[in-house]
Amino acid sequence: MIKSINPANGEEIKLYNEHSSAEIEKIISASHHDFLSWQKTDFKYRSEKMKKAAEVLRSKKERLAEIMTLEMGKPINQSKSEVDKCAWVCDYFADNAEKFLQDEIIQTDASKSFAAFKPLGVVLAVMPWNFPFWQVFRFAAPNLMAGNAGVLKHSSNVTGCALAIEEIFHEAGFPENIFRTLIVSSKGVKQVIENKNISAVTLTGSVPAGKSVAAMAGAVLKKTVLELGGSDPYLILEDADLETASEICVNSRLINGGQSCIAAKRFIVVEKVYDKFEKLFLDKMKSKKMGDPFDVKNDLGPQARNDLRDELHQQVLTSLKKGAKLLLGGEVPNMKGAYYPPTVLSNVINGMPAYDDELFGPVAALIKAKDEQDGIRIANDTTFGLGAAVFTSNKERGERIAKDELNAGCCFVNDLVKSDPRLPFGGVKESGYGRELSLFGIKEFVNIKTVYVK
């Protein structure tokens, strides 16, 4: 049995029966069967269905947002925004997939030669709980538009979200099995990957989970795209607008309860403006309210599970034992639910969890740098490479640093790192490989086929 727990109060929401091995085989076989006809449909037909999915999302936004907030605790307004973003990605690929996947003529000695982009088959998506709708739709929209089918293994604590997503595609008029949810634990992933009708795998999750899935898929020669963790550095230079920068930095650290791979985690401030930035940052962190995620007055709900909250707290305690200074928060509140307060650490250095590891919650690490070059060095001193940002009043300076100096897949200037259907999304180093979204993302799971006509 899989149990869904409300992280705001610890109460059970619902129990779900896991799919048996036989049921898993049956679902994947049905998805492959529907794929065989789906791949032959034209883009106009697929686009109509995907546009309808966007309509369903918007029409049911309130109910879908409630499911998200109930199962993983994000503030209700953020859940509503997530539904809107899912509708956007559906519309985007409905409008652009045909253009992205049109044949690409290549001049050779043939009378005609070109690259064609053809679907692979059934793609398995192993998805996390932190953005339970968005993570899935940013995979599903481009892949279904490319002519693939999808099966979803979602995180167990958001099974209600997983089933709701399957229902959205059914209601939109997609073939019954072109997108299916598998209710399985992590132990069941190996069987799914090894199924002959699974063509590729995409995973968003932790580094250990990514390594495990990549190894399983590699053993049976199936392509993977991995979006893993991050310890995103935000570099604040001496000429930055500190008021604006501190506001953006706080929002980036606390969005989704700090439970985001691309949330700001390490704030690297040049010493010339460090003291002023620290005060502004602390004042803004102190102003944020934690409580019932269904109350729109609150900025911060609970963490998604008690064990995750406890792991985060241990990272804070270990950092403090190693010399970090606690400026705010850092204590588990005496209240029901998996809550953890906005927390700020300073004097953070290499060797502390707050510097080396991903802190998946509302904990900010302030780090002082001597100057720009020292700040860049600290920013890149990580095993991760998902997102990074730099704040400066000189846009040319910021662009140079973002393009040439910061070692990450998504580098922003004077704004928080965020995913956008129009831009490629993904990381380097232990943050994974491959890209999602945009022209680049839709081409990850297609057969780039050479056609040569003499």
Digits of tens for pLDDT over the chain (454 positions)?
Answer: 899 999 999 999 999 999 999 999 999 999 999 999 999 999 999 999 999 999 999 999 999 999 999 999 999 999 999 999 999 999 999 999 999 999 999 999 999 999 999 999 999 999 999 999 999 999 999 999 999 999 999 999 999 999 999 999 999 999 999 999 999 999 999 999 999 999 999 999 999 999 999 999 999 999 999 999 999 999 999 999 999 999 999 999 999 999 999 999 999 999 999 999 999 999 999 999 999 999 999 999 999 999 999 999 999 999 999 999 999 999 999 999 999 999 999 999 999 999 999 999 999 999 999 999 999 999 999 999 999 999 999 999 999 999 999 999 999 999 999 999 999 999 999 999 999 999 999 999 999 999 999 9
Q: How far is 308 from 287, CA to CA, in rounded Å?
A: 24
Angle 134-145/43-59 helices, nearest 10 degrees? 160
> CB 221: neighbour CB atoms within 10 A?
6
8 A C-beta contact, residue 387 and residue 423 = no
Q: How far is 316 from 360, CA to CA, in rounded Å?
A: 11
What's the pLDDT score for residue 453?
98
Q: How far is 393 from 411, CA to CA, in rounded Å?
A: 16
Between vectors from CA 272 to CA 269 and to CA 273, what angle results, nearest 5°? 55
Q: How far is 426 from 410, CA to CA, in rounded Å?
A: 7
Catalytic residue among 71, 82, 166, 227: 227
Catalytic: 249?
Answer: no
* Residues in Cβ contact with 336 at an 8 Å cutoff, skipping those fewer than 6 apart: 8, 9, 10
Q: How far is 34 from 122, CA to CA, in rounded Å?
A: 10
Count of residues in the chain: 454
Sign of the CA dihedral with 129 first, then 316, 342, and 402 last: negative
Q: How far is 257 from 321, CA to CA, in rounded Å?
A: 24
Catalytic: 261?
Answer: yes
> CB 145: neighbour CB atoms within 10 A?
25
3-state secondary structure of 150: strand
> CB 23: neighbour CB atoms within 10 A?
14
User: If 0-12 CB within 10 Å is exposed, 13-18 middle and 19+ buried, where does residue 283 land?
Assistant: exposed
What's the pLDDT score for residue 433?
98
8 A C-beta contact, residue 236 and residue 267 = yes
Give φ, ψ of 410 to 5 degrees: -135, 110
Catalytic residue among 261, 278, 358, 411: 261
3-state secondary structure of 45: helix
> CB 336: neighbour CB atoms within 10 A?
11
Q: Whose structure tokens read 């740098």?
A: 369
Sign of the CA dihedral with 197 first, then 122, 24, and 130 last: positive
Q: How far is 103 from 410, CA to CA, in rounded Å?
A: 28
Distance of CA 44 to the CA centre of its chain: 29
DSSP bridge pairs for 371? none
CA distances, 134 to each of 85, 141, 192 (Å): 7, 10, 23
Q: How far is 200 from 198, CA to CA, in rounded Å?
A: 6
Q: How far is 288 from 299, CA to CA, in rounded Å?
A: 6
What's the pLDDT score for residue 417?
98
What domains lie within the chain, and their CATH numbers?
2-229+429-453 (3.40.605.10), 232-383+387-413 (3.40.309.10)
What's the pLDDT score for residue 25?
98
- Global pTM reads 0.97
> Hey, what are 319's tokens?
């950092």
What's the pLDDT score for residue 34?
98
Q: How far is 85 from 419, CA to CA, in rounded Å?
A: 10
8 A C-beta contact, residue 315 and residue 324 = no
What's the pLDDT score for residue 278?
98
Nearest in space to 197 (alpha carbons), one of 39, 37, 36: 36
3-state secondary structure of 308: helix
